[in-house]
């Protein structure tokens, strides 16, 4: 296996760069987007314990699920190849005439792609029953092992105890659950949902918490989706360019731009009170910006 899949050997450059976004609060950004060009951000953390388990259980093929633009699919394809596994991606929707960049990349890393209708995609059991001897990982790496890996994000934060708030994006809620599990009781974990009105997320997060963590402070905000999952109106693109100009912080259109926007709002409206010490997790995803016409973003 390549180094990146061995805990403790990961090479992270400039992982925290302070961005003083406000006079009243200190904000640090954990730059997980910098860890690896392909398995960027939180995906490696979420995958590693599943892959370890597949090795221990002597599987040779790993299968997982995702949409045609899923960062998780590419990360899984790459991680499986590096760890010596065959990989299979069950992709939601009909096979398009032209594969998305994401799917082309997954294929390039050796992933077999199987397209299933939106309707059948919802019944994972029927799909998984068709394949024998495959180690299945949930969509987005959702699950206890995924959350356990996400807890390890804190291994790369020196002096984590000094933060009063930790802010992260929420897709499946796996990363957030991992952060809550490892958080100190004096900290508040704030999740920003990338989806519109997905209020089931709170329960999905809670289902992955250790028993002693259910009493910790954590909250998901649902008002920063900019129209819905992966929607990126001009207002958001302008904000991303401003964020780059002002803080040299590149963000992605699906998750981290909306998270950073939310963070500034929550500081401004005093939800995160003056004097707070905030850590934002930059969970990666920058490769998703390739779907924009060139020149849209300054970075």
Contact positions toward ligand PLP, by CB under 6 A? Answer: 41-42, 46, 71-72, 140, 169-176, 252, 255-256, 283-285
Nearest CB to ligand PLP, comparing residues 171 and 250 = 171
Nearest CB to ligand PLP, comparing residues 58 and 201 = 201
Nearest approach in angstroms of CB 210 to ligand PLP is 17
Q: How far is CA 261 from each of CA 137, 149, 253, rounded to the nearest angstrom? A: 31, 26, 11
In this structure, are residues 146 and 178 in contact, taking their beta carbons and an 8 Å threshold? yes
Neighbouring C-beta atoms of residue 263, cutoff 10 Å: 25
Nearest CB to ligand PLP, comparing residues 117 and 224 = 224
Cα–Cα–Cα angle for 198, 201, 204, rounded to 5 degrees: 145
- Distance CA(166)–CA(160), nearest Å, equals 10
Nearest approach in angstroms of CB 176 to ligand PLP is 6
Nearest CB to ligand PLP, comparing residues 44 and 129 = 44
Nearest CB to ligand PLP, comparing residues 67 and 285 = 285
Nearest approach in angstroms of CB 289 to ligand PLP is 11
R_g over Cα of the chain: 19
Phi/psi at 216 (5° precision)? -70, 170
Nearest CB to ligand PLP, comparing residues 63 and 173 = 173
Nearest CB to ligand PLP, comparing residues 159 and 195 = 195
Residues 6+ apart with CB under 8 A from 2: 82, 83
Nearest approach in angstroms of CB 255 to ligand PLP is 3
Nearest approach in angstroms of CB 282 to ligand PLP is 8
Nearest Cα neighbor of 104 from 250, 228, 253, 290 is 290
Nearest Cα neighbor of 148 from 213, 76, 196 is 213
Residues 6+ apart with CB under 8 A from 139: 64, 65, 66, 70, 72, 172
For 135-268, where are the alpha helices, taking DSSP H only? Answer: 144-151, 174-182, 201-206, 234-247, 256-268
The helix/strand/coil state of 188 is strand
Nearest CB to ligand PLP, comparing residues 221 and 255 = 255
Nearest approach in angstroms of CB 98 to ligand PLP is 23
Nearest approach in angstroms of CB 18 to ligand PLP is 21
- Name the strands in the sheet holding 86-92, side by side, starting at the edge strand that comes first in the sequence: 111-116, 86-92, 61-66, 134-137
Nearest approach in angstroms of CB 185 to ligand PLP is 22
């Amino acid at each position: 296996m390549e180094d990146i899949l061995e805990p403790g050997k990961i090479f992270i450059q400039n992982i925290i760069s302070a961005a003083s976004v406000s006079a009243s609060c200190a904000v640090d950004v954990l730059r997980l987007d910098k860890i690896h060009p392909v398995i960027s951000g939180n995906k490696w953390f979420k995958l590693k314990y599943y892959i370890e388990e597949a090795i221990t259980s002597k599987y040779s093929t790993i299968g997982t699920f995702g949409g045609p633009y899923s960062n998780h699919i590419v990360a899984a394809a790459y991680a499986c190849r590096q760890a010596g596994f065959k990989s299979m991606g069950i992709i939601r929707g009909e096979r398009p005439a032209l594969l998305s960049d994401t799917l082309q990349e997954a294929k390039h890393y050796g992933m077999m792609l199987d397209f299933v209708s939106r309707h059948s995609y919802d019944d994972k059991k029927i799909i998984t029953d068709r394949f024998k001897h495959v180690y299945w990982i949930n969509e987005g790496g959702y699950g206890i092992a995924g959350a356990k890996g996400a807890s390890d994000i804190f291994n790369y934060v020196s002096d984590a105890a000094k933060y009063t708030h930790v802010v992260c994006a929420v897709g499946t809620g796996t990363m957030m659950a991992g952060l809550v599990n490892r958080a100190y009781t004096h900290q508040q974990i704030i999740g920003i949902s990338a989806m519109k009105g997905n209020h089931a997320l709170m329960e999905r997060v809670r289902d992955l918490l250790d028993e002693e963590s259910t009493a910790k402070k954590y909250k998901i905000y649902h008002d920063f989706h900019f129209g819905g999952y992966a929607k990126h109106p001009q207002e958001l693109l302008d904000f991303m360019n401003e964020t780059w100009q002002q803080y040299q912080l590149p963000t992605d259109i699906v998750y981290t731009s909306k998270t950073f926007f939310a963070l500034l709002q929550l500081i401004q409206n005093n939800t995160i009170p003056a004097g707070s010490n905030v850590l934002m997790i930059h969970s990666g995803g920058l490769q998703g910006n390739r779907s924009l016409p060139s020149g849209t973003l300054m970075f």
